[in-house]
Amino acid sequence: MSNTENGNEELNQYLTFVLNDEEYGVPILTVRGIQGWEKTTPIPNSPDYVMGIINLRGEVVPIVDLRKRFGLEVIPYGAHTVIIVVRIGESNKQRTVGLVVDAVADVHDIKAEDIRNTPEFGENDNSDFVKGLGLVAEKMIIILEIDQLVDWQNVPGGNTQIKTVDATEGCAENEFTDTQAA
C-alpha cells in the first residue's frame, strides 16, 4: 500500500497550460471544460483583459485573456489557442469564467509538499495571482490563485450574478397566441 493510499501524502491534480513558453496550472476540480477560441461579444467599459462574453450552453461567460492580465506580450490567437472554462469564487457565490491561454499542456499530480511559496518582488508584482510554484520532475509550474484573476469591481455588472431569463417570463398567457398557432 502506498503513502497516498494510507493518506500520508496530499496529492492535488492540476490542469496545466502554456503562456509565453511558461507552464501554469489551475486545480483540475475548478475546470468545467476546454474549448477552441471563439469570437466574444465585447462588454463596454471593461478592463482590457476582459475580452467580452460568450454564450456557453445558455450561460453568459466572461472571457479573460491571461496574457493581457499578466502584462505579457499580446500575440495573435493561433490553432492551439483555447479557452479553459473554470468556476471561481466561494461556494455560495461562484462564477464561471473562460481563460484564454496559448495551449493546454498536461494534467499533473503535485504533492502539497512539492508546492513552494512564491517569492515576493515588491508591491507592483502579480504575486496575488500566484498560489505557489509546483515542482514536477525537472520543471516548475506556476500554480495560479484563480479567485484573484478578475477584479469584479471593475467589470460592468460584476457585483451581480448574470442570469439568462425566458423572454416570455412575466407576460400574460394570451399575449403570444398569434405566434403559437399551429
The residue ranking higher by pLDDT, 98 or 117, is 98
Per-residue pLDDT of 8-41, as tens digits, reads 567 799 999 999 999 999 999 999 999 999 899 9
The whole domain housing 122 covers 3-180
Q: Which amino acid is at 181?
A: A
Q: What is the dihedral of CA 174, 176, 178, 182, to 10 degrees?
A: -100
- Mean pLDDT over each residue of the chain, to the nearest integer: 79
Q: Is the pLDDT of residue 182 over 50?
A: no
Q: Are 17 and 104 in contact (CB under 8 A)?
A: yes
The pLDDT value recorded for residue 3 is 44
Per-residue confidence (pLDDT) for residue 155, from 0 to 100: 56
DSSP result, 64-120: EEHHHHTTPPP----TT-EEEEEEES-TTS-EEEEEEESEEEEEEEEEGGGEEPPPP
Distance of alpha carbon 82 from alpha carbon 146, whole angstroms: 17
Rounded to whole angstroms, how far apart are CA atoms 48 and 52? 9
CATH at residue 116: 2.40.50.180
Mean pLDDT in residue range 102-107: 95
- Please report, as a single letter, which amino acid is at residue 136: V
For the chain, what is the domain count? 1
What nine digits make up the cell of 46?
471593461
| 112-125 confidence digits (pLDDT tens) | 888 888 777 655 55
Q: Is the pLDDT of residue 150 over 90?
A: no
Of 85, 105, 83, 87, nearest to 30 by C-alpha is 87
Query: What is the edge-to-edge ordering of all strands in the sheet holding 103-111?
Result: 103-111, 11-19, 22-27, 139-144, 130-136, 115-116
